[in-house]
Amino acid sequence: MTPVISMEKQEQLTIRDLVADQDLTTGDLKMILDLAGRVKARPGEFSHTLAGKQLAMIFEKPSLRTRVTFEVGMTSMGGFAVYLEHSKPRLGERESIKDVARNLSRWVDGIVARTFSHQAVVELAENASVPVINALTDLLHPCQALGDYFTLHEKFGRLKGLKLAFVGDGNNVCHSLMLTGAKMGVTVRVATPSGFEPKSAIVAEAKALGRETGAKIQLFHDPIEAVTGAQAIYTDVWASMGQEFAAHLRTQVFAPYQVNEDLMNAAGPDAMFLHCLPAHRGLEVTDSVIDSPKSLVYDQAENRLHVQKALLLLLLQSRRV
């Protein structure tokens, strides 16, 4: 019989919900990544830990990695996930977010939400009596950052002191990488075209967090300058979901920010490539980079499963007060 791990013996996170990267303390981050390592190494030990637990998944945007990893993560630990497609109407249009949160709280043990508006996830968390997890908003993507830093720790054996260069659009993934990286002691160097920088308030908050850990948050317009000496080069699509109307213009503006072999060569000799996927091959990254031995993109995708299983364990096994 497969042994059941009692999470009551685990330390508890300081949070009840994961709405923003800022919610997590450094201790929380270490706890999640440590547990993710255990889950990945010995998945069978956790196969019944969420037996009887139910998860509602509200998705306004299409998804491959986020949906599959949360569903598989939940069911592989004995729980059940219900997928709620909310692209038409979006969350809050058919009935208030408050009522959605209060209804779901009567039926399920946790809510995962992937929305356009960050405020929608904030409102869910404010009104739900069960944990709410941000599975992506236009502002932040905390689960992605957790998977990314777990992957980098696997590769380099450490996070503190690493340099990660993000090249492209200062979007939600960039925001989460800066905030979580700063807490973990990772210097994040962001290269964007003028006018496409990450939000100044997020940059300021990440810089403040970095002052406590020694991490630096640096902005550039020159991608070569940003990647020089970096252990990891990260990019994302140039037009995120909801920005498709501007894809043609963005393709022209971002062309000098393509991650290709020349840009990889400008980084450190041990530099690895990361992308949250889906990738537009031939645009933000070339095939020769994404398919190279230096690419960690499929490790990142796999590790989303393990860090989210750790999150589900830590949040759904705890009761709100």
Q: Are residues 158 and 120 in the same domain?
A: no
Could you confirm whether 141 is annotated as catalytic? yes
Helix (H, G, I), strand (E, B) or coil at 72: helix
Query: Which pLDDT band, with edges at 50, 70 and 90, does 3 fall under?
Result: very low
Same domain, 81 and 116: yes
* Rounded CA separation 102/126 (Å): 10
Residue 22 in domain:
yes
114, 153, 175, 250: the active-site residue: 114
Please compute the mean of the pLDDT values over residues 96-122 and round it to a whole number: 97
Classify residue 161 as left (phi > 0), alpha (psi -120 to 50) or beta: left
Instruction: Spot the catalytic one: 16, 153, 189, 304.
Output: 304
Specify whether 144 is catalytic: yes
Same structural domain for residues 211 and 181? yes
Which residue of the set 16, 65, 86, 141 is catalytic? 141
Residue 175 lies in a domain: yes
Same domain (yes/no): 308, 171: no
111 shares a domain with 205: no
- In this predicted structure, what is the pLDDT of residue 294? 97
Q: What is the CATH number of the domain that holds 308?
A: 3.40.50.1370
**Rounded mean pLDDT of 86-100?**
88
Closest CA to 33 of 136, 183, 162: 183
Mean pLDDT, residues 278-291: 97
Inside any domain, residue 1: no
| Catalytic site includes residue 236 | yes
End-to-end CA distance of the chain: 34
Q: Is 304 among the residues known to form the active site?
A: yes
Is 148 found in the same domain as 135?
Answer: no
Residue 203 maps to a domain: yes
Do 196 and 169 touch, CB atoms closer than 8 A? yes
Same domain, 282 and 310: no
Q: How many domains does the chain have?
A: 2
* Domain span including residue 36: 7-140+304-316
Reported as a single tens digit per residue, the pLDDT across 171-200 is 999 999 999 999 999 999 999 999 999 999
Note whether residue 2 is domain-resident: no
Same-domain status, 254 and 154 = yes
Claim to verify: residue 182 and residue 81 sit in the same structural domain: no
pLDDT at 242: 59
For residue 321, being part of any structural domain is answered with no
Asked whether residue 184 falls in the same domain as residue 130, the answer is no
Cβ–Cβ < 8 Å for 131, 55: no
User: Do 102 and 216 share a structural domain?
Assistant: no
Q: Higher-confidence residue: 113 or 246?
A: 113
Rounded average pLDDT over 23-44 = 97
Residue whose token pair is 């019989």:
1
H or E element, residue 235: strand 232-235
What confidence category does residue 317 fall into, taking pLDDT thresholds of 50, 70 and 90?
Answer: confident
How much is the pLDDT for 92? Answer: 82
Query: Which residues, 6 or more positions from 111, have their beta carbon under 8 angstroms from its beta carbon?
Result: 55, 56, 57, 58, 101, 104, 124, 128, 130, 131, 132, 133
The answer to whether residue 26 is domain-embedded is yes
Confidence band for 321, pLDDT divided at 50, 70 and 90: very low
Where residue 6 falls among pLDDT bands split at 50, 70, 90? very low
Average pLDDT, the chain: 93
- 94 is a catalytic site residue: no
Domain-embedded: residue 34:
yes
pLDDT tens-digit series, residues 49-78: 999 999 999 999 999 999 999 999 999 999
Of the residues 138, 144, 148, 250, which is catalytic? 144
Same domain, 13 and 129: yes
